[in-house]
Amino acid sequence: MPRKKSLVTVIRDLVQQEVRSAIQSLLGSISAGKSKPKNGRRRRGRRRGPGRPAGSKKKAA
């Protein structure tokens, strides 16, 4: 015959279960918000510092 659970144990189990489900739903909503880039293309905006861009110099004749 199984042992009786104390009230504290029952409440603790309930709280753990609720916390787990709350965290899971929170994480699920965060990850579902972002869509993955199509075709695996990931372009990052590079910061361009001072100076002229590459290839902008006139070629000598």
45 lies in a domain? no
Number of other residues whose CB lies within 10 A of the CB of residue 23:
10
Domain that holds residue 20: 1-30
6 lies in a domain? yes
pLDDT score recorded for residue 26 = 84
44 lies in a domain? no
pLDDT score recorded for residue 20 = 93
Whether 61 has a pLDDT exceeding 60, the answer reads: no
pTM of the model: 0.43
* Number of structural domains the chain divides into: 1
7 lies in a domain? yes
36 lies in a domain? no
- For 9-54, write each residue's pLDDT tens digit: 999 999 999 999 998 888 876 665 566 666 666 666 666 677 776 7
* CA–CA dist 22, 15 (Å, integer): 10
